[in-house]
Amino acid sequence: MNTTLPATAPVHFIRNEQLRAEAAIEPAAPSTAPVTKTTQIIAIYGKGGIGKSFTLANLSYMMAQQGKKVLLIGCDPKSDTTSLLFGGKACPTIIETSSKKKLAGDPVAIGDVCFKRDGVYAMELGGPEVGRGCGGRGIIHGFETLEKLGFHDWGFDFVLLDFLGDVVCGGFGLPIARDMCQKVIVVASNDLQSLYVANNVCSAVEYFRKLGGNVGVAGMVINKDDGTGEAAAFADNAGIPVLAAIPANEDIRRKSASYEIIGRPGTEWAPLFETLATNVAEAPPMRPKPQTQDQLLGLFSAEVTGRDFKMEPATLFDMVGKQDLLKPTLEVVYDAA
């Protein structure tokens, strides 16, 4: 095609001809080579104190020992995700570091916020001081900083996000609402409050799926499992698999309290975390079936929940000590002419 144009041709005519010439060029054939790197981004949710950080520190460590390149990101304002991984040492948070660097007029570098141990890369987003800001907004700011650092170009096999689940703030629902992860895992125990949080996460996933989202729930990790079975029953009712059940064991509790990694190859608890690592990697994202409040309560005996109690409506007499409560009306009443 001859694209030589007269020197006197109008500018808009020249531009149109250039666009036609560009459009006539056949695009390169799509690559049929095998995919060289696929990153699984997994958000882990659970009630505060249920053991997410313990689970993730040991899971990420085991994954790295299995030859996977793993990035662990703490997205809880407590900033305790990496403490166990780093032997009790506090990791500088992205929010705090970003603030200090900004005041100094310096950019944030990878080495300022990302640290590693035995093949696991880890960082903390952080959060504001108590009463001085929104934790969810801090999460959003943290991810914005990660994007500036090139987050989407990093070549990890797994990115594990540790999120606080017992809040309703939008920032903590970011991975689900914006399809920032492929799947969600919930950590819970055999108690009503942790299952309530797990159910809320399932409800959020289902809500955004109905709006066109693609995130699903890959399963549940039961921590401090005492064998009573309520968490497993919830998972079955919600239609999600149990990926692992970590027992309520004094050895685990003691080692975790002293910041010891128990998910190391060749140790007593290695098979548990090897199985968990495999299940986390292979479990597909699924649409959960959130439970109603009555269905959640139905997992526990009436002695625990008080379901055999009959609710009695309150009366006006209960409130003011008499049957009638007369108040003068503010309505303007006009006498008939």
Among the listed residues 80, 166, 183, 224, the single catalytic one is: 166
Residue 255 falls in the annotated catalytic set = no
Separation of alpha carbons 142 and 203, rounded Å? 25
- Out of 47, 183, 224, 255, the active site residue is 47
Residues in contact with 113: Cβ distance below 8 Å, sequence separation at least 6, in sequence order: 92, 93, 94, 97, 123, 124, 149
* Calpha distance 86→27 (Å, rounded): 49
Which one is catalytic: 52, 183, 224, 255?
52
Catalytic annotation on 68? no
Give the sign of the dihedral formed by CA 72, CA 77, CA 83, CA 84.
negative
Q: Of 68, 69, 78, 289, which residue is the catalytic one?
A: 78
Please say if 52 is a catalytic residue: yes
- The catalytic residues are 47, 52, 78, 166
